[in-house]
Amino acid sequence: MTLHSNIDQHSGTLTLLLPLTELLPENYAQYRPLLADGLAFFLQRLSPLRQQAIVAAQIQLPISASREQRVISLFRLCPTLHKLGQVVAHDRRLSADLRQRLQELETLAPTDSLAALRPLLDREVGPVAGLQLGQETIAEGSVAVVVPFVWQQAKDAAPQRGVFKVLRPGVQERLEEELAIWPLLGKFLEERCAHHGLPVLDYGNTLETVAHLLANEVRLDQEQEHLRQAADFYAASPDILIPRLFPFCTRLVTAMERIDGCKVTHQDLPAAEMCQRAERVIRALLAQPFWGSDSDEAGALFHADPHAGNLLAMPDGRLAIIDWALTTRLTKAQCEAVVQLGLGAVTLNETRVCRAIAALGQVVDEARVRLAVGAALQQVRAGRFPGFDWMMSLLDSLAASSAVRFPQEIALFRKALLTLSGVAADVSEQMTMDGVLVRHGATQFLQGLLRRPWAWADSRAVGAHLSTADLVGLCADLPATTLRFLAGDSGWSGGLPERR
């Protein structure tokens, strides 16, 4: 495979053409020209020094290097592309070979030396009594490097193993440069869609939202607060491990417990035990926060970057969840709206589904919403289970067509689910996200039964985000549901409600 490059010495722009388009699955072949346009647009707006580094890395690869190898080389030099690769590394729509290559981005051998990081550590942490730094860095992510240490707090105390997480030299500048390009790239892609005869999707708003959220990757002080919140949330879950923070964290350095485990996708146990591991992953990352928000006024805290490199299986069976730089929260009202959307789908009630969508985002095009919801309910009528996969496909289509504008937390929640679904499937295909979510929702519902007689009929704080009025209405709607199924009518009865 040959690499073509053209460097304009006068303007300093670079056009780097990699044979990447064929990496898109065949069912997305019509988007390959758009991918080539987008990649060229992105690379041309990087600084000349970075363009030269990318070209040099490609030239160093052997002539026989595969497309997948060239992708990894490019992604390692661009933190936003690196993160994108981690997000889709377990997406079953991609080829197995490409997924395997992208999964290399989850855990990388470090390229930054301890000597390059030592000035920052000395300045931020300074001398700490009983602290012995390791001899070299041990891991590298999209924006950070991990340095090991051992700390003996007192002479008679047992040594504690920990790690410093510090930003890679120059990564903040690279990230800022790339994030400034993303909103421009979104608008460019929308224009090129028309040129290639493709549907004009809302790339601009989507990429601008994701760029804003990815800026949190370099906020280590913010991640430390997320770690504290996660530790509190999972304190009652003995099979979940959140790294413990050490007292000498700073704004630019996180000092935390060292976690030694393997990626959860590592097939190191019998099939039945891998199934249990998958259940634990889905429960901890999705079911517990979603249903647990019943008693949390701040809403449900979700890990927004659950790739396999951040989910470690411990030798004692526990699941360690690391790297809490990216999180998102769904409010209690948003979780309730998700449940209402599911109930509307189960009862084939288009009105209920549309009301739930209006509660999750700002409706821009009512007609498109009705069409999308009608098509989605036809899938349910044909036998598709209206679980999270069905639900997120519907929300994706509404966002892509600009029929609904969803807030940032919903966009990041969707990103997290995309990653989590692929990881869970790679752990064990025998365990589904919907199955785990429904079982834990049923448990939450049963636990709330004793409180229902003393709660207001419209209160949804008594289990599974459902009120007694919801349950009565669901029972009353059963005859109408049967008629809608037999008649093929979704029961649309008017316009969308105003969003409150």
Percent of the chain clearing pLDDT 70 (strictly above): 91
Q: Which residue has the higher pLDDT, 204 or 329?
A: 329
Which one, of 106, 98, 50, 45, lies nearest residue 74 by Cα? 50
* Weakest mean pLDDT among 77-91, 127-141, 371-385: 77-91
pLDDT over threshold 70, residue 495:
no
Look at phi and psi of residue 320 and say left if phi exceeds 0, alpha if psi is from -120 to 50, else beta: beta
Element (H, E) at 256: strand 253-257
Residues 6+ apart with CB under 8 A from 39: 16, 18, 20
> What is the band of 295 on the pLDDT scale with cuts at 50, 70, 90?
low
Which of 181, 215, 249 is at the close of a domain? 215
Predicted local confidence at residue 297, as pLDDT:
63
Cβ proximity of 24 and 171 under 8 Å: no
Pair 118, 207 in one domain: no
Burial status of residue 11 (CB atoms within 10 A of its CB: 0-12, 13-18, 19 or more): exposed
According to DSSP H, which parts of 428-456 are helical? 433-447
Q: How far apart are the first and last CA of the chain?
A: 56
Rounded to whole angstroms, what are the CA distances from 252 to 221, 342, 419, 456? 7, 42, 27, 48
Tens digits of residue pLDDT in 101-127: 888 888 777 888 888 899 999 999 989
Q: What pLDDT was estimated at residue 436?
A: 95
Helix (H) or strand (E) holding 341, with range, is helix 332-346
**Number of residues assigned to the chain:** 500
Task: Tell me the backbone φ, ψ of residue 446, rounded to 5 degrees.
Answer: -65, -40
Last residue of a domain, one of 228, 258, 288: 258
Q: Are 178 and 75 in contact (CB under 8 A)?
A: no
| Total number of domains constituting the chain | 3
| 176 lies in the same domain as 159 | no
pLDDT bucket at 492, cuts 50 / 70 / 90: very low
Give 18-37 pLDDT, tens digit per residue: 566 777 778 778 888 888 88
191 is in which domain, residue-wise?
4-107+172-215
Residue 395 CA to residue 373 CA, distance in Å, equals 9
Amino acid type, 246: F
Give the residue with greater pLDDT, 112 vs 267: 267
| Residue at which a domain ends, from 187, 215, 243 | 215
Global pTM reads 0.86
Q: Is the pLDDT of residue 159 over 90?
A: yes
**Same-domain status, 27 and 91:** yes
What is the model's pLDDT at position 20? 66
Q: What is the β-pairing status of strands 131-133 and 144-151?
A: antiparallel
291, amino acid identity: W
At residue 17, the pLDDT reads 46
Residues 130 and 193 placed together within one structural domain of the fold: no
- The verdict on 211 and 242 lying in the same domain is no
State whether 362 and 430 are in the same domain. yes
Which residues fall within 8 angstroms of residue 140, CB to CB, at 6 or more apart?
A: 108, 109, 110, 111, 112, 146, 168
The token pair that represents 386 in the structure block: 């209206």
Same domain, 60 and 163: no
Query: Which of 196-205, 287-296, 388-397, 449-458 has the largest mean confidence?
Result: 388-397
Q: How far apart are CA 235 and CA 303, in angstroms?
A: 16
Residue 65 is predicted with a pLDDT of 83
Please list, in sequence order, all residues whose beta carbon lies within 8 angstroms of the beta carbon of residue 214, skipping any fewer than 6 positions away.
Answer: 80, 83, 175, 179, 326
Q: Is pLDDT at 1 greater than 60 in this prediction? A: no
pLDDT of residue 452: 86
DSSP reduced 3-state for 113: coil
- Bridge partners of residue 166, in order along the sequence: 145, 253
* CATH at residue 113: 3.30.200.20
- The confidence score (pLDDT) of residue 293 equals 67
Amino acid at 357: I
SS3 for 254?
strand
d(CA 85, CA 83): 5
Map tokens 């490019």 to a residue.
74
Are residues 325 and 239 part of one domain? no
Q: Which residue has the higher pLDDT, 488 or 64?
A: 64
**Strand stretches in 259-326, DSSP E:** 262-263, 300-303, 311-313, 319-321
What count of Cα atoms within 13 Å lies in the side-chain half-sphere of residue 338?
A: 26
Pair of tokens at residue 61: 């690869």
| pLDDT at position 46 over 70 | yes
Domain check: are 313 and 180 in the same one? no
318 and 444, same domain (yes or no):
yes
Pairing of strands 319-321, 240-241: parallel
> What is the per-residue pLDDT for 396?
87
Burial of 177 (0-12, 13-18, 19+ CB in 10 A): middle
Query: Within this chain, do residues 30 and 118 fall inside the same structural domain, yes or no?
Result: no
Identify whether residues 252 and 281 lie together within a single domain: no
